[in-house]
Structure 1
Amino acid sequence: MLEAIILGFVQGLTEFLPISSSAHLRILGEFLPNAADPGAAFTAITQLGTETAVVVFFWRDIVRIVSHWFRAIRGKIPHDDPDARMGWLIIIGSIPIVVLGLLFQDQIETTFRSLYVVATMLIVFGIVLGLADWAGAKRRKLEDLTYPHGLYFGLAQSLALIPGVSRSGGTITMGLLLGYERAAAARYAFLLAIPAVFGSGFYQLFMSMGEPAVYGPVETAVATAVAFGVAILIIAVFMKWISRHSFLPFVIYRIALGATILILLGVGVLEPF
């Protein structure tokens, strides 16, 4: 139970920062007494807690988007209404991760969880994030989001199926490359994650019933609750941070963590699986 609480805390702490929560759970599992990978199912289920925090934090936005989307469908308001468009943008942006998640499910649960893959992704996408933050124009606002750009965001989000990329990091990086402000890119990234995370979490919850796992249902439920509580605080802090600061601290952290894991793998302290 203590391990589950620790993992839930780390999940809530890292989910919305561009440092990959799935990578941290994968790495941390090796240093806990069980010394085992918590598993893709545990990670996906605990993400239900962090994503519920997104729903709470952005509740008014979500209600408005859903309401306007349905009203536009029924012809009550114009189809180019900003909130109705955002509904379509979230749907379009969610398609890539659904398709790729189903196509590569086996690799997601096995090959992609190698610590060599995790460490490499931390470093590579840390560098890409740093370059995007340095070179991005940061002029476009959320209102400027187009349907093709929504699809590009979705493709970037789907890279988070590989631990070490980071869901928020991948989508925010794409937003910066497309010229969006940091806060605008992050806001769309958080909204875009809602269907994907809930879909993946409930799917993994259903599929894991009766299956052997490192952590049982009670421990997983506690970890999910802890992740929710921590995530509520992190979202508010992160949204204020990125309005005034660069992503450089996260870039440095990612590269340092990835390099450390590669060194530990090289000297035999850690095993890839």
Structure 2
Amino acid sequence: MLWYIAIILGIVQGIGEFLPISSSAHLILTRWFFDWDPIIHHLGENIDIVLDVALHVGTLLAVLIYFFRDWLQMLTHGLSTGIKTKEGKMFWYLVVATIPGGIAGLALEAAIENFIRSQILIIALGLALMGIILYYVDKKAAQIVNFEEITFRQTILIGVAQALALIPGVSRSGITMTAGRLLGFTREAAARFSFLLATPIIAGAALKQTPGIIHNIANPLFLVGTITATIVGLISIGFLLQYLQRHNFAIFAVYRLAIAALAIIVYAIRGA
């Protein structure tokens, strides 16, 4: 078995899911750059499913492990005291903010993925445009809202923005962090809220694939992909929260433009 494919895709997923660079775009581009699709399909018809499930489970475990105490407190307060405490209030804010993205995902995910997955130029355009928007918003927006000060209205707006992440290249973390910055969140608050908001969305994606998890849980490729995505995801979350205490999002915007340019160049060279 080709262990390196599961490891590299796990690394790509663990980084791309939490940094504002689009995991879906990077997974598509990685497979396209190295022409891995024929190799993956040759390994078996279900290998695509095995890898997809493994990567979702890995990033779900990463965010649950990193924010375990936060979620335990929010869940406990949310179910026992409602919105009377800040933890309970944040729990219900996150529940409501998940709804727009969840509805959009159920209605449009398959159609968007089937159409755009093979459209390299559209993916590159999404990477570039979102990079420019992220840079501009982050540069101009004030940093006046800390995590504890987030309001219900702000969570709804970020939840609506999250629906745009269905388009590969936009990035779920990228669009939610950009929306948070546009609303005046501090960079760290924008990232923390984005990570917490990711939890139910990633969990929903993993639950949809429960049969695949049960069927493939003993598959070595599944285990390798899951473990890799979990470890790298934990590192990525910790890195970004630390990084944003002293730096802005500029490096991610520049990177998005660079990878978009590379994709366009390779596309032009290959002629397809």
Distance in structure 1 (CA, Å) of the matches to 2:62 and 2:191: 15
Bigger CA drift: 184-193 or 220-229? 220-229
CA separation in 1, counterparts of 2:12 and 2:229? 7
Identity, in percent, stands at: 35
Separation in structure 2 between the aligned mates of residue 233 and residue 141 of structure 1, nearest angstrom: 23
Pairwise CA RMSD: 2.4
Q: Which residue of 2 aligns with 1:188?
A: 193
CA-CA distance at 1:68 after TM superposition: 0.3
Using the TM superposition, give the Cα deviation of residue 157 of structure 1 relative to its aligned residue in structure 2, in angstroms. Answer: 1.8
Structure holding more helix per residue: 2
Q: Would you say the 8 A contact 2:97–2:159 is kept in 1? A: yes
Pairwise mapping of residues 8-157 of structure 1 onto structure 2 (< 5 A)?
A: 8-32=10-34, 34-35=36-37, 42-43=51-52, 45-73=54-82, 79-113=83-117, 114-157=119-162
Describe the superposition over 1:45-71 as per-residue Cα deviations: whole angstroms up to 9, x where unpaired.
Answer: 413212211111111111110000011
Q: In terms of mean alpha carbon deviation, does 197-206 or 63-72 score higher? A: 197-206
Q: 1:107 to 1:207 in 2, by over 3 A?
A: farther
Where in structure 1 are there 5+ consecutive unaligned residues? 74-78, 211-215
Higher deviation after alignment, 93-102 or 143-152: 143-152
TM-score (norm 1): 0.88
Distance 1:209 1:162, change over 3 A: farther
Which consecutive residues of structure 2, in runs of 5 or more, have no partner in the other structure? 41-46
Q: 1:194-233, aligned counterparts within 5 Å?
A: 194-206=199-211, 217-233=219-235
Tell me the CA shift for residue 26 of structure 1. 0.6
CA displacement, residues 180-211 of structure 1 (integer Å, 9 cap, x when unaligned): 0000011010001101101112213537988x
Report the equivalent of 1:168.
173
Structure 2 counterpart of 1:143, one-letter code: E
Give the counterpart letter for 2:235 in structure 1: L
Aligned length: 261
Normalised TM-score (structure 2): 0.88
Please give the alpha-carbon distance, in whole angstroms, between the structure 2 residues aligned to 1:10 and 1:203: 22
- Contact 1:3–1:32, Cα closer than 8 Å, also in 2: no
Q: Judging changes above 3 Å, is the alpha-carbon distance between structure 1 residues 53 and 89 closer, same or farther for their aligned structure 2 residues? A: same
Equivalent position SS for 2:237: helix
Contact kept, 8 Å, 2:49 with 2:212, in 1: the verdict is no
